[in-house]
Chain A
């Protein structure tokens, strides 16, 4: 018997609860919370929708990653959940933000309420700092380790390039008096059992031809070698299992396969069953339907 079989391949990943940073814009305060009830929703749109149900009276703006972001290729997006015209919307932003959130050690960041004055917020593992919107953003963050989400004349842009579709994020930033968010990820995970992880990583990286984009030389999302033109504007809606992870929708041929998802999660130390993964899409779509019904009342 393999004595290592129950030990995680990656150190310091929690299999039973998710870490959430909750930021109250009206009070300029923050709290780090742990939610075991998010675990069945895996991540991304799943945890975003569940957190929305918990905080819905505060008009939450929720950024979430999934368990594979930062660890496996094409798991390169960040899920954004918000309400627009009393409908729950799920957007997906490309770029490097998902890496920064994974290396911040949080699964989700929730912004509640609205600020009286326009704000810039700097988020690190240790602290959340609130600044007037006029601050020079170059004075915040760390080179190579930070991503900048900024409301400007071109709408909300991530690192001066990536945007979210439909203008919903711009409207929510304006309503909340948010101007800039700076995310800095410093956390490092130690690989305790590298062989299987490396093997799976390489297998997935070699599946690039299954991603339905044209490889090019545009700025790429972190963890994706394809540099496609499609990632700039992000995504709205799409395959639920893929978006719990939070993988690129163009990589759904890879991440819609329960066996692949199970193997990735298993190597990282998550103990979801096949049945749980098969049912997660139904669980999330039911929750979203209930939330939309309650928002429209």
Chain B
């Protein structure tokens, strides 16, 4: 069973980028470049893109660091390709 981080409530994002810092810290990095989570700003609106492929990333820590609970973690039994 695999877990994935899902942007379930994008309208709640306030653009603090704590999720970006958390995922980068787990990769022992500080910075925006190469982050598996990206936050795009336009005035008061934000778009969050997630592309986490590293199974060692602790998704619950990312979900918890978000002050407005933008993310949920979904479990799936489908690993890989299906017919």
Cα of A178 to Cα of B34 in the assembled complex, Å: 31
Cβ B16 vs Cβ A217 within 8 A: no
B17's contact among A159, A189, A218, A223, by CB below 8 Å, is which? Answer: A223
Cβ A189 vs Cβ B16 within 8 A: no
Cβ A185 vs Cβ B32 within 8 A: yes
Number of interface residues of B (CB under 8 A): 28
Cβ A103 vs Cβ B33 within 8 A: yes
Cβ A220 vs Cβ B32 within 8 A: no
Rounded to whole Å, the gap between the CB of A115 and the closest CB of chain B is 27
Interface residues of B in 37-62 (CB under 8 A from A): 38-44, 46, 49
Which residues from B are CB-within-8-Å of A188?
24, 29-34
Does A145 make an interface contact (CB < 8 A)?
Answer: yes
A227's contact among B40, B41, B68, by CB below 8 Å, is which? Answer: B68
Does B18 make an interface contact (CB < 8 A)?
Answer: yes
Which residues from A are CB-within-8-Å of B67?
215, 225-227
Does A123 make an interface contact (CB < 8 A)?
Answer: no
Which residues from A are CB-within-8-Å of B76?
none
Which residues from B are CB-within-8-Å of A185?
31-33
Does B2 make an interface contact (CB < 8 A)?
Answer: no
Cα of A189 to Cα of B34 in the assembled complex, Å: 12
| Minimum CB distance partner of B43 in chain A | A160
Which of A145, A188, A198, A215: most chain B Cβ within 10 A? A188
A219's contact among B24, B40, B44, by CB below 8 Å, is which? Answer: B44
Interface residues of A in 180-231 (CB under 8 A from B): 185-192, 194, 198, 201, 205, 215, 217-227
Which residues from A are CB-within-8-Å of B43?
159-161, 219
| Minimum CB distance partner of B39 in chain A | A144
Which residues from B are CB-within-8-Å of A217?
12, 14, 68
Which of B12, B17, B25, B49: most chain A Cβ within 10 A? B17
Does B28 make an interface contact (CB < 8 A)?
Answer: yes
Which residues from A are CB-within-8-Å of B34?
188
Cβ B15 vs Cβ A220 within 8 A: yes
Cβ B30 vs Cβ A70 within 8 A: yes
Q: Which residues of B contact A (CB under 8 A)?
A: 12, 14-18, 21, 24-25, 28-34, 38-44, 46, 49, 65, 67-68
Can you list 18 A-B contacts (CB < 8 A)?
A: A73-B18, A99-B17, A143-B38, A144-B32, A144-B40, A159-B41, A159-B42, A161-B44, A188-B31, A189-B30, A191-B25, A198-B25, A218-B14, A219-B44, A221-B16, A223-B16, A223-B18, A227-B14
